[in-house]
Structure 1
């Protein structure tokens, strides 16, 4: 009898786990404001996140700062924490283009133009909370900047905050 009970209990937990793993993200599409901060300049701009079904989602943003504009897209793998009603985690990665315009200046008797475009890869790991009774979601993540061009470097101390209005 004990073996039958343990088998039924294990099957129940396995079934609940599979149902939880197949659960959709709490919304289909969200529009909002992204804030990119940490070491260096703080950037602000619009963003959109769209769930492609299951755990897969894409995020696109345009961020603005002094003399810089960043265009980026990210893929993310999203999961809800069981029993939390709106709190989830995600990991992802995506390419970013930074258009830097420092303007020109005279240096050593010549005109120096420091405008350039940087290409970067940005991994992300974060938390997202969708308020169950309202069409509002928030996220916070660690999103380091790995510049692969023009003075290549890795900046680990970068984070993003997001405030979104969710659509179904």
Structure 2
């Protein structure tokens, strides 16, 4: 937990230090999101230069989860096309019966369960200058309410086609 707090503090400091700039070089992106708990399809849409909506349909063993995020983007480290982003949202989904592993806490569910909770995101995204490709790396802290309550943090890697 101390590592998570340290990482969050460092990312927040970068947020404060970096200047607000033209945060993105595309309007819409579609691609894959690969995480610790789910892998799936991601769609990101910029409403303006620094504000985006992202939806992720993630698939996991015996289940699926939809996550919706509201994100704020800004240029990171004064590097063109490298953006820092953060935001919040929620998830809803379902898992079937079986054994599920989480960091330090394995559980067995003898029936299907609803997944419902609150999400956050902190990450970096790089848009390649001469290709319609963006790559992101982020942390997704989330609070599961329906089968919990419990808190976890899932790292994620995104690869998207931009247009």
- State the alpha-carbon separation in 2 of the partners of residues 120 and 96 from structure 1: 5
Match of 2:89 among 79, 86, 94: 94
Q: TM-score, normalised by structure 2?
A: 0.77
Shift in Å at residue 36 of structure 1? Answer: 1.5
Shift in Å at residue 140 of structure 1? Answer: 0.6
Q: Is contact 2:90-2:119 (8 Å) kept?
A: yes
Look up the SS of the partner of 2:24 in the other structure.
coil
Match of 1:159 among 136, 155, 159: 155
Aligned to 2:125: 128
Shift in Å at residue 54 of structure 1? Answer: 2.4
Q: Please say if 1:30 is aligned against 2:26.
A: no
Aligned to 1:13: none
Unaligned runs of 5+ in 1: 1-19, 104-111
- State the alpha-carbon separation in 2 of the partners of residues 117 and 48 from structure 1: 23
Match of 2:46 among 43, 46, 51: 51
Q: Is contact 1:25-1:53 (8 Å) kept?
A: no
- State the alpha-carbon separation in 1 of the partners of residues 162 and 89 from structure 2: 22
Match of 1:71 among 52, 56, 66: 66
Q: TM-score, normalised by structure 1?
A: 0.75
CA pair 22-140 structure 1, distance change in 2 beyond 3 A: closer
Cα deviations by residue, 1:35-83 (Å, 9 ceiling, x for unpaired): 111xxxx321111001000211000011111112011110000001264
Q: Is contact 1:131-1:137 (8 Å) kept?
A: yes
Q: Please say if 1:81 is aligned against 2:80.
A: no
Q: Which has the larger radius of gyration?
A: 1
RMSD across aligned positions (CA): 1.8
Aligned to 2:104: none
Structure 1 segments of 4+ aligned residues over 6 angstroms from their partners: none
Q: Please say if 1:115 is aligned against 2:147.
A: no
Unaligned runs of 5+ in 2: 1-18, 99-108
